[in-house]
Structure 1
Amino acid sequence: MKRQNNFPLHFLVLLFLCRYSIASSHVRRLLLSHESEHYAVIFDAGSTGSRVHVFRFDTKLDLLPIGNHIEYFLAINPGLSSYANNPKAGALSLKPLLDKAESVVPKDLQPQTPLKLGATAGLRLLKGDAAVKILQANETTLNYKAEWVSILDGTQEGSYFWVALNYLLGNLGKKYERTVATIDLGGGSVQMTYAISKESATKAPKEPNGEPYVLNKSLLGTNYDIYLELKFFKASGNSSSSPCILGGYNGYNTYNGVAYKASSPKHGHQLKKALKIKAPCKHKKCTFGGIWNGEGGQGFKNLYASSFFYDYAAMVGIIDPKKPSGRAKPIQYLHAAKLACNTKVKDIKSVFPDID
């Protein structure tokens, strides 16, 4: 696996959002009004942090480099969902990102540069109208327009990533068998997406909440039936133990502005149990939690996973954190995970000196 440090895999979702926005006649007309270059600014308000991506395009809307990179990227922590009780502070937390974006986009192009802010699972999981208030604070405090700010639902998040990646690989417009499957592992949710046959689509059951598992999209003249599986991670106040916590820890963990009592499980790390891999399955095949798996097929033959692979590889010594990219094999992540699961919290810095 290889990744450029300033070219995060989550960029693929944002690139599709950006190009999708540019495809509208109004925005396209603005972009094409300048002779040589155009810019677009995307804010990714995720569960664990907020990021800004600035893209530069030529007149054909193909990407141009910004400095030595394919984009300008900057991230801050924590995410907007941490400001549930202070929406204005959440909006102001994005000000440094906005300032940096303005320093990248030439002043004469700023009036015609589209800006989008897309929030994901962190805001979706907030209770009541907290998410709405945070977005409204962004509109008023940072002078955003309402149409610039939105919360992506899990279906959009998963399908955008699938479309973006297959677009960049040159697969769109071809038969579904030529596409690849995607898994997007975020801080508050995970989405698995892949194209399935028409036969499998007609047999698709409904989700427990009544929503369909399959979306139909027409892309570059080809119809695709796209299977989406969504899983949201929710903090629970019912139990203080978690398979994600190192042995020997007994304290608190803050998520979405709420402090939960947290400790390691008494009987080791049972992540398989937490994912409900052995849950009853009412269908021919299931993934975790008894969820229908789409029946696999050619669209699932090649799988691309997106997450903080580079960051974790650097933290546990798989790759050199001083270099902008690196290569790693899945087995190295497995070995590091086994080592981490057998390490007490008091020993973690001696085992993994670069851990945050």
Structure 2
Amino acid sequence: MSKRKSLYSNNESVSDKIHRYRGAILVISIPLLLISFVLFLLPSSSQSPNDAVLNRKFSPNYVLQSDSTSNRYAVIFDAGSSGSRVHVFCFDKNLDLVHIGSDLELFEQLKPGLSAHATDPKEAADSLLPLLVKAEKVVPKDMRQSTPVKVGATAGLRQLGVDASERILQAVKDFLKVKSSLKSDDDWVTVLDGTQEGAYQWVTINYLLKRLGKKYSDTVGVVDLGGGSVQMAYAISAADAAKAPRITSGEDTYVKEMLLMGTKYYLYVHSYLKYGLLAARAEILGVAKDSDNPCILAGYNGVYSYGGIDYKASAPSSGSSMKKCREEALKALKVNEATCTHMKCTFGGVWNGGGGDGQKNLFVASFFFDRAAEAGFVDQHSHVAEVRPVDFQEAAQRACQMTIEDAKSAYPDVEASNLPYLCMDLVYQYTLLVDGFDLQPKQQITLVKKVEYQNSLVEAAWPLGSAIEAVSAAS
């Protein structure tokens, strides 16, 4: 019997063997076929994280890049009092900025701002067209309909009054519906309240410094000096947030709760309308009313227009004086007039947030940087500089001693329209920091215009914070 079995085995055909062992073959072949099929379907550019790690390990020239199909764009218009600006950002799925060409953002600007067209809303809206055209060019065509476009008007429009600002905003909404291929929504065209602007600015700078997600004491505080308003924002402890004073009806709360990158922050933020640099000029000139003003450079006699009102702007025969100008600035800030009903106040009787670790490192932006560079104590080609409030005082002492003619050659980078007010601007900035926000004259602060992020420079402005919110909401 065993011999017959052996002979049978030797004479068995291939087909008989396949039939005989078909079960084992199926068990082995099906997984192999499935693996081959999956590998065939996978495109070479689409890899799992594990595949990417393997490729990096074994391919020395491999560069890990985000999947472009998961990128999201956001277009943010900053309609400020001194001009309109557009920012375009691109984020990957982890909310990290992705390069747009050689930069991490598109940034374009033009002057004047929307508020300069107060009597012609359509003209105001149409003024944004050159910026819109440039913004749309960098957003891929197939992504434009899903890319949010937001317009945030700031202090310039806030000061026009409700009727005028609403007409301009409606014109901008209509403009975007007709002229833009981006995703627009009427709710995304707004006048930002000051606390929104301050909160977005705080998010922007801490995001670029990679501080978000860390404890509040590791974040930095921000002072943003715009044309119409100035904002202060910094993170405070939960205990200090609980002590925040109640605010009368109609005013913004002092503390905003924000959940960012898994961390809850209590953000003290307050905006001071009429105390941006351009608005403050009107406040200071308004103190003297129709008299000569000691903040105006000698030899200048003119008119300063702001918010539809003209102010006399002429120097006394003795010229400008830093000491007398500072007295005018203190009156404008109402430092010694307002009653503080809270634990501790800045100017105007406003609660200061209590101070603390979140305010220790203070980043100061916008017009602070611009005037410092134009006055010569900060390199105009730099983007970040360590200074002290007293540096503004020393620069003011030099500027206030000059005539308007001397200043033309001494300060070639200052625009002609700003030159008569250089003494005033520098005195006001020093007074705002020291008397308004109670900083020590020799306290170190960081002037910032742009922040380096992933080997690129990004504008340290509130639109990035707004863009982060926009893409987060859309995801």
Q: State the TM-score, normalizing by the size of structure 2.
A: 0.61
Post-superposition offset of 1:317 = 3.5
- The number of residue pairs the alignment matches comes to 324
Greater CA drift, 306-315 or 90-99: 306-315
1:215 alignment partner AA: K
Post-superposition offset of 1:188 = 0.5
Equivalents in 2 of 1:68, 1:228: separation in Å?
34
Equivalents in 2 of 1:320, 1:113: separation in Å?
37
Give the corresponding residue for 2:213: 173
Post-superposition offset of 1:199 = 3.0
Equivalents in 2 of 1:351, 1:231: separation in Å?
32
Long gaps (5+) in structure 1: 1-31
Counterpart of 1:205 (choices 231, 245, 248) is 245
Equivalents in 2 of 1:58, 1:195: separation in Å?
27
Counterpart of 1:269 (choices 325, 328, 333) is 325
2:400 alignment partner AA: C
Post-superposition offset of 1:98 = 0.8
Greater CA drift, 236-245 or 132-141: 236-245
In structure 2, the residue corresponding to 1:35 is in which secondary structure?
helix
Change (3 A) 1:145 1:217: closer
2:75 alignment partner AA: V
Equivalents in 2 of 1:243, 1:128: separation in Å?
34
Q: How does 1:1-356 map to 2 (within 5 A)?
A: 35=69, 37-143=71-177, 145-207=185-247, 211=251, 212-233=253-274, 234=279, 235=282, 239-240=289-290, 245-264=296-315, 268-270=324-326, 271-279=329-337, 280-318=339-377, 321=380, 323=381, 325=383, 327=385, 329-330=387-388, 332-356=391-415
Equivalents in 2 of 1:243, 1:55: separation in Å?
45
Post-superposition offset of 1:55 = 1.4
1:278 alignment partner AA: N
Greater CA drift, 328-337 or 49-58: 328-337
1:206 alignment partner AA: R
Equivalents in 2 of 1:333, 1:68: separation in Å?
35
Is the 2:225–2:368 Cα contact (8 Å) retained in structure 1?
no
2:272 alignment partner AA: K
Equivalents in 1 of 2:156, 2:207: separation in Å?
27
Post-superposition offset of 1:93 = 0.9
Post-superposition offset of 1:325 = 4.8
Equivalents in 1 of 2:216, 2:384: separation in Å?
31
Change (3 A) 1:107 1:53: same
Post-superposition offset of 1:313 = 4.1
Question: Any idea what the Cα deviations from partners look like across 1:18-66, whole Å, max 9, x if unmatched?
Answer: xxxxxxxxxxxxxx99626442211110111100111123344421222
RMSD: 2.9
Change (3 A) 1:53 1:259: same
Greater CA drift, 58-67 or 86-95: 58-67
Equivalents in 2 of 1:195, 1:351: separation in Å?
40
Equivalents in 2 of 1:255, 1:225: separation in Å?
35
In structure 2, the residue corresponding to 1:170 is in which secondary structure?
coil
Q: Percent identity?
A: 52
Equivalents in 2 of 1:200, 1:275: separation in Å?
26
Question: Any idea what the Cα deviations from partners look like across 1:99-148, whole Å, max 9, x if unmatched?
Answer: 11122223333222221111111111112410010011112234254133
Question: Any idea what the Cα deviations from partners look like across 1:253-292, whole Å, max 9, x if unmatched?
Answer: 2223443333357873122332233334333322112322
Equivalents in 1 of 2:161, 2:294: separation in Å?
25
Larger Rg over CA atoms: 2
Is the 1:240–1:263 Cα contact (8 Å) retained in structure 2?
no
In structure 2, the residue corresponding to 1:355 is in which secondary structure?
coil
Post-superposition offset of 1:187 = 0.7
Change (3 A) 1:37 1:170: closer
Q: State the TM-score, normalizing by the size of structure 1.
A: 0.79
Post-superposition offset of 1:92 = 1.1
Greater CA drift, 265-274 or 192-201: 265-274
Equivalents in 2 of 1:329, 1:223: separation in Å?
31
1:88 alignment partner AA: K
1:249 alignment partner AA: Y
Change (3 A) 1:39 1:218: closer
Long gaps (5+) in structure 2: 1-65, 178-183, 416-475
Equivalents in 2 of 1:223, 1:88: separation in Å?
42
Equivalents in 1 of 2:315, 2:193: separation in Å?
31
